[in-house]
């Protein structure tokens, strides 16, 4: 690979799933990170303006998707439906000064797409850093860096991805994004779901304290609501900084639509009072594709596959659009072969891609945990907050039916496929559960480790959304000290679980191993929170097992 861009500053720099979220000042915050100069705050009275930053995503060997949102007049706020058609141009160059321009073009931003703009650029060189910006009415957007994927058949020595999930605006600041942006060494970053949350203000996780209010104040239901919520998120300076540093690869989970979403409804949706679920789902999806730098590969879904040379491919799953309704606890239906998490077509697509892959590593972007999770002998004091975090009844808790545990036939078929075709080096990358895990993925958890592991899994914790210590209101680390040994004793395939901290992961891949470095934040409620390395786990090529390693890459 060609050498990566590193900013001079980066050499000195080394946050329960069930009901929350409202109004606030827009993009007048000053960046606390190293990209402050690149993302200037703009007054909403300036027009046209690029108040929501710029982004890139879904890198290919010859191209990348570029995104922005223009505010043509002050009243054209997200979700308003107001504002004139506005010509927006883009420029791509090999240098930050834009003296070596390699691509340019223009399109019209309209109220019909909430004045968001996408440009799918092709004709670029593989494994190369580029700079891009947008312009409208004499105003330039901030300049941003992106990077193309390696050539499909390239022998790639190393890949490095940031990995994040579960960012509740009201629960804290997005310092995890700032620290990833400051690294300057990422080929891309993966968002594994819950990029936004749908709840009304104060309804989810924030308990007595809303760190910063959201917009709109009510639970989001309509297209205008979802656009407004996405717009609020995109004013965050740390999120803007990360989007301006490396391409994003994103999938959705439930909160981009509604809690515990399935193909025909959601736990956090009342059909009578809140209208047809289908209308809400389509509004949520439309806003998502307008506001995210994502290419839908199958209409209305986020499942797709990217390739990074001969080193890795990345299969990205949509585990909400096709799933059957979550099973009721204790009725045995989690094993019903008629129920599905993936849908038939997506599972066949995933199996075929894993079987035909000729890369060293097969990565799977996966929004909910695939490894089995038995509760074990947790006390009532720990069982109840865990149930609250997972959104389950506080008595009789056996498993989380919103995860792959609730759809065991799909999991059994997938793992049997890996074993029967001797498919090695499959690594699931997972979010959702607001805890950090390092797991083997056993074919039979009951007999493990005497039986085989079919794959490995790295689960990243939340950026800000509540984990167990937040729910119990005890000092950070208290719950992990009690719960982690009990969880591991009941789940012998689990090498590590941290139930208490917020942060992010950095996945580093070579031909010999895939390693996840876990980083934690000092305080999700502080805009200037520091980040520190917590632990690292790796899987060595050919082993299908996780092991601890004692240094980050």
The whole model's pTM is what?
Answer: 0.90
**The two three-digit tokens of residue 172, written as one number:** 């804290």
Least confident of 277-291, 378-392, 405-419: 378-392
Q: Where would I find the H helices in 374-529? A: 380-390, 408-420, 468-472, 478-490
pLDDT in tens, 187-230: 999 999 999 999 999 888 665 689 999 999 999 999 999 999 99
The one-character DSSP state at 45 is T
Which of 144, 151, 90, 87 has the alpha carbon at shortest distance from 121? 90
pLDDT in tens, 267-324: 999 998 999 999 999 999 999 999 999 997 766 788 999 999 999 999 999 999 999 9
Interacting residues of 484 by C-beta distance below 8 A, sequence separation 6+: 496, 497, 498, 499
- Dist CA 273 CA 218 (whole Å): 14
**The two three-digit tokens of residue 342, written as one number:** 């993936």
For residue 389, the model assigns a pLDDT of 74
For residue 306, the model assigns a pLDDT of 98
């Amino acid at each position: 690979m060609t050498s990566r861009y590193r900013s001079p500053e980066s050499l000195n720099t080394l946050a329960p799933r069930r009901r929350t979220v409202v109004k606030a000042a827009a993009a007048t915050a000053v960046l606390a990170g190293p990209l402050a100069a690149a993302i200037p705050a703009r007054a909403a009275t300036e027009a046209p303006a690029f108040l929501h930053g710029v982004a890139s995503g879904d890198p290919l060997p010859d191209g990348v998707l570029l995104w922005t949102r223009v505010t043509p007049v002050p009243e054209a706020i997200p979700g308003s439906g107001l504002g004139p058609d506005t010509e927006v141009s883009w420029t791509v160059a090999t240098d930050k000064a834009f003296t070596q321009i390699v691509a340019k073009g223009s399109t019209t931003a309209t109220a019909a797409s909430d004045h968001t703009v996408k440009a799918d650029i092709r004709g670029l060189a593989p494994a190369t850093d580029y700079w891009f910006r947008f312009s409208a009415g004499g105003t330039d957007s901030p300049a941003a860096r992106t990077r193309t994927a390696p050539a499909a058949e390239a022998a790639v020595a190393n890949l490095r991805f940031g990995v994040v999930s579960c960012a509740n605006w009201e629960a804290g600041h997005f310092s995890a994004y700032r620290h990833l942006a400051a690294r300057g060494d990422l080929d891309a970053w993966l968002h594994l779901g819950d990029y936004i949350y749908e709840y009304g203000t104060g309804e989810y996780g924030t308990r007595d304290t809303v760190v910063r209010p959201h917009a709109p104040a009510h639970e989001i239901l309509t297209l205008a609501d979802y656009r407004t919520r996405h717009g609020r998120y995109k004013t965050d300076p740390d999120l803007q900084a990360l989007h301006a540093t490396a391409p994003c690869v994103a999938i959705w989970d439930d909160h981009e639509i509604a809690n515990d979403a399935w193909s025909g409804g959601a736990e956090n949706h009342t059909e009578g009072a809140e209208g047809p679920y289908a209308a809400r789902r389509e509004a949520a999806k439309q806003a998502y594709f307008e506001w995210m730098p994502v290419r839908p590969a199958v209409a209305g879904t986020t499942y797709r596959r990217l390739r990074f040379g001969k080193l890795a491919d990345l299969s990205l799953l949509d585990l909400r659009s096709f799933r059957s309704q979550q099973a009721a606890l204790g009725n045995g239906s989690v094993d019903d072969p008629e129920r599905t998490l993936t849908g038939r077509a997506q599972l066949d697509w995933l199996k075929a891609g894993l079987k035909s892959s000729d890369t060293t590593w097969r990565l799977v972007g996966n929004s909910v945990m695939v490894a089995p999770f038995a509760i074990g002998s947790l006390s009532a004091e720990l069982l109840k907050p865990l149930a609250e975090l997972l959104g389950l009844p506080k008595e009789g808790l056996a498993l989380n039916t919103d995860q792959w545990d609730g759809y065991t036939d799909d999991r059994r078929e997938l793992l049997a496929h890996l074993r029967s075709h001797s498919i090695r080096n499959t690594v699931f990358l997972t979010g959702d559960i607001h805890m950090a895990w390092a797991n083997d993925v056993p074919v039979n958890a009951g007999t493990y480790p005497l039986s085989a592991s079919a794959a490995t899994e790295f689960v990243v914790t939340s950026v800000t959304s509540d984990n167990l210590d937040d729910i119990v209101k005890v000092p950070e680390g208290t719950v992990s000290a009690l719960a982690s040994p009990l969880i591991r004793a009941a789940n012998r395939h689990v090498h590590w679980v941290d139930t208490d901290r917020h942060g992010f992961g950095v996945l580093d891949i070579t031909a010999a191993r895939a390693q996840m470095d876990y980083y934690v934040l000092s305080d999700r409620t502080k805009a200037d929170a520091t980040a520190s390395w917590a632990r690292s786990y790796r899987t060595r090529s050919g082993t299908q097992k996780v092991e601890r390693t004692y240094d980050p890459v």
